[in-house]
Structure 1
Amino acid sequence: MPHAKHGLRLDLRTLILVLCALTALVMLCASYFASYRVQRQLLIDHSLEANRVYAAKLAAITETFIGNALQQLSFSAGVQGRQLADAQAMQAETDRVLGQSMAFNSTFVLDADGVLLAISPAPLSHLVLNVVGTSAPLALVGCLLLWWLAMTIARPLWQLAAGARSMDHAGTAERLHRVRAWYFEAAELKRALLFGLNLLQERIGRLNRDAQTDPLTGLGNRRSMELSLSLLEAEGRAFAATALDIDHFKRVNDNHGHDVGDQVLRKLAELMRRCCREGDLLCRTGGEEFLMLLPGASLEAAAVVGERLRVTVKDTPLEPVGAVTISLGVARWDGEAGAEPAQALG
């Protein structure tokens, strides 16, 4: 019977907690990494561009630049002042000012209270697109990793469930042994299934033995005899048979009772076992009738075994009955096609 391995054992609750923590850590790292990449690039690009534009214009046309800028802003302010109620027009004017000259990185309009009325360009949408573009591959990799971990955890449970559905099929025990139950709950389920399967097979075997065994003598019954004859016929294997019964057994029952008669039957079964080989089949076919099947034995060998048993029974006293005698006969089936073993026994 399999046993769970000792030492470090993982259980399902721990695996799920680790999986959740790993998921949160992966998502947090992905977000930090995406934000870092986007912010870093934005800061670098904006700083370099601002410094370059500032240095070039400061060196070349500082006064002209400032004057032109003020002139443009003054003109735009006059236009904006006439359309404060029209948000669409204000946005169009803000975009026009930005596109008219390279002097401005961005343009925006504030009212007297400092409320932003219009801005160009809109940097938030660009930032969101950069974040999504950077984090999407990381999120995809994280999802694939989580899917693989979930499949790894669930695979032993699926295999054990399949084994539980086919407990009555051949090879189920071998398939259950091959299941890699690498955490505690799966190992315990595997152990319980193997134990239940072994118990089921043991009980089925016991039922089969009981169905083919005479409960009084422990010899095979008529069903066991018929099954053995069928197997010998299917194999084409020759055998000799010795049929016997107890002389005047009814007188034993009438004079001494059925309990004493049962003792006589059990004693005869014991003597039959002593006189036979290990592979011979001994059956009780009726009340005091018995049959000995001797696979591969000749007719002469069966006669010798029968005579030895007859003498042994006659010389063995059975209290309170005394000595009993048996009558017997021998026959042989040669395993020839077309001939049935039952005909030789008849």
Structure 2
Amino acid sequence: MRIPPPLRPNLRRLVLSVVVLTALIMLATAFHASYRVQRHMLMDNALESNHAYAAKLAESVEGFLDAAQQQLAHSAEVLGEGFDDESVLLKESERLWLQTDSFNAVGITDAQGVIRATAPRQLHLAGQVSQSTGGQQALEARRPLISAPYLSPAGNLIVFLSHPVFTRKGKYLGYVGGAIRLKHKNILNSLLGKHYYRDGSYIYVVDQTRRLLYHPDPARLGTMVGANAIIDNVLEGGSGSGSVRNSQGIDMLAGYAPVPLAGWGIVAQRPLESTLAPLDSLMMNVLGRTAPIALLTLLAFWALAYFIARPLSLLARQARQMDASPAAARIQRIRSWYFEAAELKRAMLIGIALLQQKLGAAHLDAQTDPLTGLQNRRGLARALDGLTALQRPFSILALDIDHFKRVNDTHGHDIGDVVLQKLAGLLRSESRPSDILCRNGGEEFIVLLPDTREDAAAGIAERLRRKVETADMPHGDTITISLGVSHWPGGAAAIEEVLKRADQALYRAKKMGRNQVVRASETTL
């Protein structure tokens, strides 16, 4: 009874499967790459837009502050000639307050800190000594000044701009100043409030103390901002953009720019989620445009796979009927339109031969130390398995180069490698063809001596020790070796114990002064 062959996929299905899988992987890769590119572009555009917007607002605020200082400077020049005239003081303070909407209040204070005039007059502060932080700073500085935000006695959060008043002879008379009340309608609201707050985006302004001077949420005005790399950068005078997580834990794309005149920082930011919201529909559009092309490509690949696989499929079918008499004729009629199909048998035989050769070489390389050409630990283990399987007694020489670290430290590792190669050559020259030479690692070597008793192995070890001691070495000095000898008698004795005894004998040789041979049967370690 003929046993049917096991079911296996044919070449056509395999080729088609590989092609389809490759096409799907390429499509997925392209789709993913497109997604990453589009995502990167959206984020870059948002970051650049926010940076440009923050820079524009910073320029506007800087321009306002500069203009406000110029107004105060002009008033200071006017007041320098009429500081003792109350009508001049009242007129100039009202002009400053009414002419522009730069300030919520204007005041003129003399050099003793007494308020001489205010606008609006309803403040009723004339004649009082100024107690405000901004006023005290202005008296002390005697230069144009923009104060840090502070709470006024009335509980208002204020930024105070001031300019000193001097006579033409340089005598200090006092200062003229304007207050911006941050929690009321003010010029910052006018400059910054034109921002269209779409998709959760917003702007805010901080001063050098990290206090919020402007924020779309009025309740947060005057509060302190916590750790934030963006704010750290902008308060150091930096301008740029970056990703940050805000105090609510929302990932934001922020642009920032400084206001150098006041030491403030302006940040414009937009939620990452809002920025990437259009990406889904964009990628669906890409997928819709790509799918038809991908389907046509798959159909073309299917046809190509069919024509490629057909000659091999027919050859495989005839190979199952090689015992039939017309098989040769039928094979001759198969149209092998490409070289691989026509040369299949020969190519397979050559391929198998080459594969076996390479596997043999790889197997040999896996058991050989590349520096010395001796067998490595894997080769040692294989040799031990072979000897024990045959119950063939053998002796073990465990040897180590004395003070090898000194060679490496003095002459370098390159010379050390040459010394190791020289020692490997000496081992070969003093060994029998049946001996097994191994490098156990570093400067340690193992020699297996089949069918050799321990006393004979000790003689071989001594001869080898003398040979090495008198050999010329590449670094110009001589080297010595210490050796430990043990014997495996066969039977049930553990190989690990015999190897351990050889190591103990080697250790004993090192401890006794090096450059000698110690037999395991002689040591009490």
Q: Which TM-score applies when normalising by structure 2?
A: 0.31
Q: Which TM-score applies when normalising by structure 1?
A: 0.47
Bigger helix fraction: 1
Greater length-normalized contact order (CA 8 Å, ≥ 6 residues apart): 1
Return the index of the structure with the highest Cα Rg. 1
Bigger strand fraction: 2
